[in-house]
C-alpha cells in the first residue's frame, strides 16, 4: 500500500508559490480593464471583460480535466500559465475593441488549465484526513496573488502607462512556469499526448458525482462575477482612487480564514462550513448595495473576503471527497466549469442591470444577494449524510 507523504513538502510549497505568481499575473490588470475598454471606445462591452474570460475557461475545463488524468498534472499547469505570458504581451499590440475582446477570450484558457492541474496535484499528495486544510493553504497562496496583483497593478497604472502593466503581468507568469518545470509529476501511468485526447465523450464532460457542490458554487460565485465587473466603477463613484483597493481588502481578509475553514470542514463536515460561508456572502452583498462611503464598501469587502475564504477550499475538498481517484481531474474540471459559468453569468447580468447608470448599483448587488440566498436554502435542505465523503 502506498504511503502518502506529508503535504508540507517542498513540492507542495513550490506549487503554492507558482499559484501565487499565476493569480498575481492575470489579476493585476483586472481593475484597470473597464476604464481601458472605455478609452478604446467599447464602454458598452464592460460586461464582456469577465464573461468572455470565464466562457473560454469553462469551455476548456473538460479538456484540461481529461488531459490532467491522461498526460499529467504538470503539462496542464504549464499550458495554462504560458497563455498568461503570451496574451500579456499581445494586449499592447491588439489595442482596439475587437482585438481586446478576442484577447480576453483567449486569456480565459489560462484559468481553464492551470487551476485544474493544481487542484489535482494537491489532491494527489495530500493525506485524506488533511484534504480541507491543504486546500485551504494552497488557496491562501492563490488569494495572496489575487490581493497582490490588483494592488500592484493599481500602483503601476498610477505611475506608468498601461502597457507597462500588461508587460509586468506577462513576465510575472514566467516565474510561475519556471517553478512548475522543477516539480515532479504525480500521475502514475501517464499517456503520451495525442490529438485524439481532444475527442470528448458525453460522460467525459461533466462528472455527475460532484453536481451538488458544483451547483452551490455556481450560485455563490455569481457574486464574484458581479464584484469583478462593477466594483471598479462603484469605487470610482465613491471617490476611491485606487480601484484595486477593494480587491486587496477582500482578498487579504480571506487569507487567515481559509486555514480555519479548511480545518473546520475536515472536522465538522463540508456542509456546515458552506452554510456559514454563504450566509456571510449574503450579508456582504446587502452591505455593498447600501454602501455610500469608502468605509462601508471596504467593510463589505471584509465580509465578502471571509465568505470566499470559507467556500473556496471547502468546495474543492468536497468535490475531491465525492470523486473517484481515476476521474479526479474530470471532477475538478466540472467544479471549475460551474465556477466559470457562475462568474460569467454574474458578469453579464450585472453589466446589463448596471447599464453604466450609478443609480443601478443597488439593484445589481441585491440581485447577487438573491442568488446567494438560493444557495443558502439549498444547503439548509440538503441531505447532509448523502453528500459527505464517499471513500
- Per residue of the chain (391 residues), what is the pLDDT tens digit? 344 445 567 778 888 899 899 989 888 888 788 888 888 888 777 778 877 887 888 788 888 878 888 888 889 899 999 999 999 999 999 888 889 899 999 998 998 888 888 888 887 777 766 766 777 777 778 878 877 887 788 788 788 888 889 999 998 999 999 999 888 887 777 778 777 777 767 666 777 888 889 999 999 999 988 988 888 888 888 887 777 788 778 877 887 787 788 778 877 888 889 999 999 999 999 999 988 888 888 899 999 999 998 998 888 888 888 877 677 777 888 888 888 789 888 988 888 888 778 888 889 999 999 999 999 998 988 755 555 544 4
Question: DSSP letters along 314-331, please?
Answer: HHHHHHHHHS-GGGHHHH
Separation CA 88–CA 303 (nearest Å): 32
CA quadruple 300, 279, 148, 116: dihedral, nearest 10: -150
**Residue-level length of the chain:** 391
pLDDT of residue 391: 41
Burial class from Cβ neighbours inside 10 Å (0-12, 13-18, 19+) for residue 150 reads: buried
For 89-144, list the strands marked E by DSSP.
none
User: 92-96: long-range contacts at Cβ-Cβ below 8 A with a sequence spacing of 24 or more?
Assistant: 92/162, 92/163, 92/166, 92/167, 95/40, 96/40
Question: DSSP letters along 25-74, please?
Answer: HHHTTGGGHHHHHHHTT-GGGHHHHHHHHHHHHHHHHHHHHHHHHHT-HH
pLDDT of residue 318: 87
pLDDT of residue 2: 41
pLDDT of residue 370: 94
Beta carbons of 104 and 49 less than 8 angstroms apart: yes
- 94 Cβ contact partners less than 8 Å away, ≥ 6 residues apart: 100, 102, 103
pLDDT of residue 261: 81
Separation CA 182–CA 308 (nearest Å): 30
Separation CA 135–CA 153 (nearest Å): 27
- Total Cβ atoms within 10 A of residue 44: 13
- The grid coordinates listed for 207 are 462528472
Amino acid at each position: 500500500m502506498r504511503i502518502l507523504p506529508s503535504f508540507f513538502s517542498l513540492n507542495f510549497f513550490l506549487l503554492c508559490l507558482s499559484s501565487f505568481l499565476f493569480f498575481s499575473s492575470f489579476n493585476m490588470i483586472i481593475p484597470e480593464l473597464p476604464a481601458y475598454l472605455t478609452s478604446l471606445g467599447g464602454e458598452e462591452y464592460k460586461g464582456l471583460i469577465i464573461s468572455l474570460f470565464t466562457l473560454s475557461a469553462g469551455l476548456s475545463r473538460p479538456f484540461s480535466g481529461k488531459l490532467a488524468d491522461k498526460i499529467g498534472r504538470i503539462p496542464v499547469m504549464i499550458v495554462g500559465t504560458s497563455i498568461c505570458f503570451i496574451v500579456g504581451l499581445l494586449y499592447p499590440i491588439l489595442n482596439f475593441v475587437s482585438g481586446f475582446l478576442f484577447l480576453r477570450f483567449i486569456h480565459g484558457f489560462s484559468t481553464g488549465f492551470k487551476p485544474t492541474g493544481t487542484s489535482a496535484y494537491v489532491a494527489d499528495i495530500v493525506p485524506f484526513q488533511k484534504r480541507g486544510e491543504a486546500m485551504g493553504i494552497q488557496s491562501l497562496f492563490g488569494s495572496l496573488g489575487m490581493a497582490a496583483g490588483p494592488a500592484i497593478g493599481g500602483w503601476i497604472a498610477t505611475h506608468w502607462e498601461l502597457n507597462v502593466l500588461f508587460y509586468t503581468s506577462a513576465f510575472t507568469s514566467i516565474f510561475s512556469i519556471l517553478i512548475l518545470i522543477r516539480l515532479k509529476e504525480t500521475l502514475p501511468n501517464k499517456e503520451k499526448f495525442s490529438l485524439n485526447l481532444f475527442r470528448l465523450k458525453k460522460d467525459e464532460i461533466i462528472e455527475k458525482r460532484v453536481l451538488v457542490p458544483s451547483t452551490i458554487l455556481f450560485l455563490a460565485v455569481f457574486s464574484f462575477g458581479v464584484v469583478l465587473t462593477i466594483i471598479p466603477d462603484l469605487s470610482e463613484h465613491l471617490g476611491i482612487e485606487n480601484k484595486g483597493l477593494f480587491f486587496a481588502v477582500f482578498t487579504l481578509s480571506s487569507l487567515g480564514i481559509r486555514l480555519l475553514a479548511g480545518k473546520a470542514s475536515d472536522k465538522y463536515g463540508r456542509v456546515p462550513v458552506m452554510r456559514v460561508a454563504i450566509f456571510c456572502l449574503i450579508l456582504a452583498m446587502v452591505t455593498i448595495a447600501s454602501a455610500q462611503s469608502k468605509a462601508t464598501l471596504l467593510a463589505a469587502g471584509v465580509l465578502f473576503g471571509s465568505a470566499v475564504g470559507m467556500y473556496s477550499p471547502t468546495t474543492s475538498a468536497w468535490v475531491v471527497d465525492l470523486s473517484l481517484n481515476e476521474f479526479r481531474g474530470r471532477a475538478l474540471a466540472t467544479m471549475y466549469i460551474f465556477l466559470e459559468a457562475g462568474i460569467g453569468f454574474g458578469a453579464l447580468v450585472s453589466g446589463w442591470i448596471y447599464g453604466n447608470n450609478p443609480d443601478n448599483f443597488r439593484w445589481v448587488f441585491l440581485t447577487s444577494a438573491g442568488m446567494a440566498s438560493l444557495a443558502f436554502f439549498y444547503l439548509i435542505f440538503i441531505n447532509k449524510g448523502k453528500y459527505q465523503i464517499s471513500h
